[in-house]
Structure 1
Amino acid sequence: MRHISILVPKGAVLGSIEGPRQLFTQVNQFFKAKGEPPVFKVQLVGLEKETPLCGGLVTIHADTLLNDVEKTDLVIIPAVDGEMKAALEANKEFIPWITKQYKAGAEVASLCLGAFILASTGLLNGRKAATHWLAANDFRKMFPEVNLMAEKVITDERGLYSSGGAYSYLNLVLYLIEKYVGREMAILNAKVFAIEIERESQSPFIIFQGQKEHEDEPIKKAQEFIENNFQEKITVDQLASMLALGRRNLERRFKKATSNTLVEYIQRVKIEAAKMSLETSRENVNEVMYKVGYTDTKAFRTTFKRITGLSPIEYRNKYNREMIAA
C-alpha cells in the first residue's frame, strides 16, 4: 500500500487539501467495489492537530502530526494563501521534513502556490516547476535557480511534481493516479469528478501583466511606451534611441527587469489586446489583427497560438460572450 501524506500548512487553500484526499480515496473505493484491498493510505499531516483555515471559518483536523510520520511514499504540498514570505515563515517547519522524506525515497508534489514551499527546500534548483501564472513574477524573483514553466499545467522531474494555477491541481492528482494504478483508474476518477483529463497548458488562462516591480526607471518607461503604443510598429532601435541607451545595454536590462526580451514583451502586449477584442467584440480575426498592429496573418496566428495555446478562432469560440451564449 502506498502511503500518501497530504500536508496541512497554515494558511492552506482548503480545496487543495480536500480535493486530493477525495480523489485518492475514490481510487480505494473503486478497488473495494472489485473486492480488492485499498492501494493508498491517505493521511492529513499537520504541524498541530487542528489548523484553522479560511480566516478561522474552517478547521482541518490532521490525522497525524508531522514528526510522527517516519516514512511516506508521496508528499502533497497544498496551495497557500496570502503574502508568500509570511506563508513560508509560518510553515518553515515543513521544509526539513520534506527534504528528509525526498532523500529517503519519497516523491513530492506541490499544488499551485504550494510550489513556493517546495522551492524553499532547494530541491527544485536547476529543475522545472509550475505554479499559478499570477504568481510567476514573484516566484522567479524569489527562486531564480528554478526553471519556472509558467505555461505548464504539470511538471514532472526526478520524483518532484508541480501543478499550475488553482484547480489544475486536479490534473496533477489524476496524473499521479495514472502513474501509480493505471490509466483506467485515472479515467474513472476523471468521469466521477467531471475533470477534463488532458489539459497540458494553462496558457489560455494567462492574463499578461508586465513585471514592473523593479527599480530600473528607463525600463519602466520602455514598458509604458510599448503598452500605450502597441498598435504601432515598435522596434528595439527606436526604444534605444528614445531612452538614450545602447541597444545591447537596453536588451540586457529589459530581460533582467521583466523576465522577457523586448520582442517577447511587445508580442505579449499585442496578443493580450487581441485576446480582449476576441472576448468582447464582434470583430473578425483579421480586423483584430490589424487593430493590434499586425499585418502578416501567418505571423499573427503563429504568435497567438504560441502564447495562448489556441488559434485566434479557437480562442474566440471559447471565450467570446456572444459565441458562448449562442
Structure 2
Amino acid sequence: MQSSNSLDTFLAQMKPGQISTILMDMLPEIITCIKDINGVYIYVNRAFAETLQRDSEEILGKNDAELFGTELARSYMKDDADICESGDPILEKAELVTYRPGIVRWYITSKIPLYNTKQTVIGIAGISRPSLAHQHISVSGPMASVGKAVDYIYENLSEGIGVDQLANICGLSISSLERHFKKHFDCSPGKFISQVKISSACKLLADPSYTIAAVGDKLGYPDPVVFSRAFKREMKVSPSGYRRSLIR
C-alpha cells in the first residue's frame, strides 16, 4: 500500500476528473455529488440522476430547494452550510432522501468539505448509500424512537395517523416527539406524515390505472377535496396537474 505522501504526489500528477466522474458513475444505487460553496450542484453521478429521474444537465446548476422542494431539502442545506462553516465532515448519518415521483427512503450519508489550494473551503462532496435497515434502524436513543415512528407511518399509509397516536406508539410525549422530528428532519411529525403520504401519491399518480380519487383513498384521504388540498400544499400543483406534467 502506498503512503499518503506517495498518494498525494501521484494524484497531483493525474489528470483531474478520472476518478470522481468515471468510477462514481459505476456505483449502482450509491448517489454521489459535489456542490459549490453556495450549495449548487456542479457534479452528480449517474445513480443520482436516475434517482431523481432527470438528466444530469437538469440537475447541475440547481440547489436542493429547487430539486426537492420539501422541508427535508432545508435539512440537507443546513448540513452543507455547517460543514462549510466549520470544516468538519458529517460521517455515516442516517437521513431520509426523497425523489419524485417516488418514495422517501433511509440512506446513510457522508459529506466532507472541499478546499482550494489556499485551504479555503469551496464546497462539499457527498456520498449516500441505501440503508439495508431503513425501516428498522438499529440505533439507540432518540433516533430509535424516530425510526419506530417512521416505520409505523410507512406501514399505515392508508390510515389517518394522528401525532398523539404516533407519540403513544413510540412511548414519547407529543412535545418530545415533535422535538426529535425537528432535530432530525427539521419539520414536525404532522408535516413528515404529509410528506410521506404525498410522496407516495406521486408514485401512484404515475400509474394511469389509478384514478385520482383512488390514489387519495389509498393514502387515507377518502375525501378527494381534502386529498387535493393536501397534495397542492406540498407540491404546489394539483394532483391532476402533477399527473399531466408526467406526460411527455
Q: Which TM-score applies when normalising by structure 2?
A: 0.52
Go from structure 1 to structure 2 and tell me whether the alpha carbon gap of 1:252 and 1:206 turns closer, same or farther (over 3 Å shift): farther
1:271 correspondence with 2:166: no
The equivalent of 1:293 in structure 2 is 220
CA contact (8 A) 2:104 2:199 kept: no
CA contact (8 A) 1:237 1:247 kept: yes
Q: Quick one: structure 1 residues 308 and 49, their matched pair in 2 at CA, closer, same or farther if it must change by over 3 Å?
A: farther
For residue 286 of structure 1, what is the amino acid of its counterpart?
Answer: A
1:212/1:258 contact within 8 Å kept: no
The C-alpha deviation readout for 1:127-158, integer Å capped at 9, x for no partner, is xx933549945433343599xxxxxxxxxxxx
Distance 1:223 1:57, change over 3 A: closer
Equivalent in the alignment of 1:140: 78
Matched with 2:63 is 130
Q: Cα deviation per residue 1:240-286 (whole Å; 9 max; x = unaligned)?
A: 11122111111111221122211111111111121111102422111
State the AA in 2 paired with 1:209: V
Change (3 A) 1:258 1:210: farther
Is structure 2 residue 16 aligned with structure 1 residue 52? yes
**Closer, same or farther: CA 56–294 of 1 in aligned 2, 3 Å:** closer
For residue 112 of structure 1, what is the aligned residue in structure 2? 41
Structure 2 counterpart SS, 1:218 = helix
- When the two chains are superposed, the root-mean-square deviation of aligned CA atoms in Å is 4.0
Q: CA deviation at 1:315?
A: 1.4
Give the Cα separation in 2 of the matches to 1:272 and 1:317: 16
Q: If you compute each CA radius of gyration, which structure gives the higher value, 1 or 2?
A: 1
2:77 is aligned with what amino acid?
F
Match of 1:262 in 2: 189
Determine which structure has greater relative contact order: mean sequence separation of CA pairs < 8 Å that are 6+ residues apart, divided by chain length.
2
Counterpart of 2:58 in structure 1 is none
User: What is the distance in 2 between the residues matched to 1:229 and 1:206?
Assistant: 20
The 3-state SS of whatever aligns with 2:16 is strand
Gaps of 5+ in 2: 1-11, 23-30, 44-61, 85-97, 109-136
Q: Please, what TM-score do these two structures have when normalized by structure 1?
A: 0.41
- Residue 231 of structure 1 contacts residue 291 of structure 1 at CA under 8 Å; is this kept in 2? yes
Change (3 A) 1:223 1:144: farther
